[in-house]
Amino acid sequence: MLDYGVAIVRICNKLSRTEEGRHIVGQLFRAGTSVGANYEEACGAQSRADFVHKLQIVLKEIREAKYWLKLIQRSGILSGEDIAEAINETREISNIIGKSVITAKSKT
């Protein structure tokens, strides 16, 4: 998860400092970097219910990050391999966390 956060920071650093760029940077930076922090919180959960709740927060933040990355790509603000790789990694993390939530819920 730390590498994902690093990738988000690097993408944010590449965005222009226009009004639109600053807005997107703020949103993407907040959502994308909170994924790893919230995952770490989930790992230290005090109960299965707490674990599920915290994983759902991770899922919410990763979905938001995916939105901002797709917006960047489709609008042409940035393009290329960095964005495509970040979107792919976002999908993979989303799938893993989503399945983890389902599994954890089924065991409660």
* Residue-wise pLDDT tens digits, 11-21: 999 998 899 99
Whole-number Å distance between alpha carbons of 87 and 84: 5
Contact 85, 38 (CB under 8 A): no
Q: Where are the domains of the chain?
A: 2-106
Residues 6+ apart with CB under 8 A from 73: 79, 83, 84, 87
pLDDT of res. 108: 58
- What architecture does CATH give domain 2-106? Up-down Bundle (1.20)
pLDDT of res. 55: 97
pLDDT (mean) for 72-95: 93
Is the pLDDT reported for residue 44 higher than 90? yes
pLDDT of res. 79: 82
The proportion of the chain whose per-residue pLDDT surpasses 90, expressed as a percent, equals: 90
Long-range Cβ contacts of 96-99 (<8 Å, 24+ apart) = 97/39, 97/55, 97/58, 97/59, 97/62, 98/59
Whole-number Å distance between alpha carbons of 6 and 4: 5
